[in-house]
Amino acid sequence: IIIIIIIIIIIIMYYRSKGESPCCDEKPNAISGLSLEDGSMEKELEELRRSRPKPPVGGDFTLSDCFYFTRRGIESIVEDEVTQRFSSEELVSWNLLTRTNNDFQYISLKLTLVYGLGIFVRYCILAPLRITLACIGLTWLVIGTSAVGLLPNWRIKFWLSEWVHVMCYRICARGLSATIRYHNRENKPKKGGICVANHTSPIDIVILCNDGCYAMVGQVHGGLMGVIQRAMVRSCPHVWFERAEMKDRHLVTKRLKDHVNDKTKLPILIFPEGTCVNNTSVMMFKKGSFEIGATIYPVAIKYDLKFGDAFWNSSKYSMVSYLLRMMTSWALVCNVWYLPAMHQQEGEDAVQFANRVKSAIAHRGGLVDLQWDGGLKRAKVKESFKEQQQKQYSSMVVGDDSSSNSD
């Protein structure tokens, strides 16, 4: 068995070096499981069986099919399209940053001197200035929102609240040397709606709020984050939940509905993926925010890796170390596209609506549209999904055997 597996691996590597596939003309797509979106695995197996004589006894299955399934299984492991979304994307070319999975390697004295000069500029000049700006922005956010919260609920209070929020977020964006290009601003989210966007890092909030004010949704925290949350909610109706309340789905839905039904309140900002993805794809959207019946304003965010990697690998870096990495990058460059407002169509359930919005965001941002749940970053695959894949695999292996051998 070991010898057969080694031979199969050698064959795969040989054909990959030529850009061909040993069983079909098309290069197989990266998969993470048995099923593909376009059903190409079933088509490949059908073409493979059509190209050979049908066995005189039994159905379509022959022993040689094991080689095909073995090859596809190895490809599923090598080209897994789920786990690779939770690690930083490799840079195409070296840009004097240690932002790739490879450590620094000596090439020449000239490049080493340039690399050392870059480290001095980023860590000794840019980093102190950025940390100072970030501290100023957060301090002014707490002081400004607390002061605005003391005013009566007049129109000027809401205007001052938005002004303070946007100003503080812009100071924090300067602390990250953020260079942002906003496209199609005529589609910016309006009050009484929900803004949904793909999620790469906590900095996404700073990027979006740099161009407008939003109401946040999240869990109540302690420490410094708790101080900021309490100060923000005094001047602006953000939606914060206690840990026990987050588990009550009906309570969350009711509070969100009450918020969007009030057309004087800011649009809610939600990241339906529920986790950070490395900005190469968009994973499954949770259906909760699409069950409310509010207007959805999709937003696509795409970062440029040439000057800094914005992806937060929470399993590898803490929040503090991640922010330090961002402040020691050259810059944070990204594009933001505001998509036209979308509404739930007649006969469309929340899951279908969420998938339609997700596809629009992926298409506009040049990202891969994936159906996998981002919760697989930490959780295991559900047993029901495994059984579904096993049934599909069994039907492909057996082929017409099930109809010819009814016993």
pLDDT band, residue 210 (cuts 50/70/90): very high
Q: What would the mean pLDDT of 225-243 be, rounded to a whole number?
A: 81
pLDDT of residue 378: 67
Q: Where are the domains of the chain?
A: 2-82+382-404, 145-371
Read off the pLDDT of residues 57-89 as tens digits, 9 standing for 90 and up: 555 666 666 777 777 777 766 666 677 676 666
Average predicted confidence (pLDDT) for the chain? 78
* Token reading at 51: 């190209």
Q: What would the mean pLDDT of 153-169 be, rounded to a whole number?
A: 88
Pairing of strands 281-282, 215-219: unpaired
pLDDT of residue 106: 66
- List the strands of the sheet with 194-197, edge to edge: 178-183, 332-338, 296-304, 194-197, 268-270, 215-219, 239-241
* Token reading at 66: 């094991």
Query: In 184-241, which ranges are E strands?
Result: 194-197, 215-219, 239-241
Are 93 and 293 contacting, i.e. CB atoms less than 8 angstroms apart?
Answer: no
Say which range, 174-183, 276-285, 378-387, has the weakest mean pLDDT. Answer: 378-387
The C-alpha atoms of residue 24 and residue 152 are separated, in whole angstroms, by 71
3-state secondary structure 284-313: CCCCHHHCCCCCEEEEEEEEECCCCCCCCC
Strand, helix or coil for residue 179: strand
Does residue 38 carry a pLDDT above 50?
A: no
Are 134 and 172 contacting, i.e. CB atoms less than 8 angstroms apart?
Answer: yes
The C-alpha atoms of residue 154 and residue 217 are separated, in whole angstroms, by 23
Domain 145-371 has CATH 1.10.3470: no
pLDDT band, residue 121 (cuts 50/70/90): confident
pLDDT band, residue 356 (cuts 50/70/90): very high
Higher pLDDT pick, 99 / 374: 374
User: What's the N-to-C CA distance of the chain in angstroms?
Assistant: 31
Pairing of strands 332-338, 296-304: antiparallel
pLDDT of residue 129: 93
pLDDT of residue 21: 37
The C-alpha atoms of residue 360 and residue 300 are separated, in whole angstroms, by 9
The C-alpha atoms of residue 300 and residue 187 are separated, in whole angstroms, by 12
Higher pLDDT pick, 368 / 226: 368
- H/E element, 205: helix 203-209
Q: What would the mean pLDDT of 2-22 be, rounded to a whole number?
A: 52
Which of these, 96, 90, 79, lies nearest to 278 by C-alpha position?
Answer: 90
pLDDT band, residue 196 (cuts 50/70/90): very high
Read off the pLDDT of residues 242-295 as tens digits, 9 standing for 90 and up: 766 766 778 888 888 888 888 888 899 999 988 888 888 898 898 888 988 889
The C-alpha atoms of residue 11 and residue 135 are separated, in whole angstroms, by 57
- Position 315, amino acid: S
Are 157 and 311 contacting, i.e. CB atoms less than 8 angstroms apart?
Answer: no
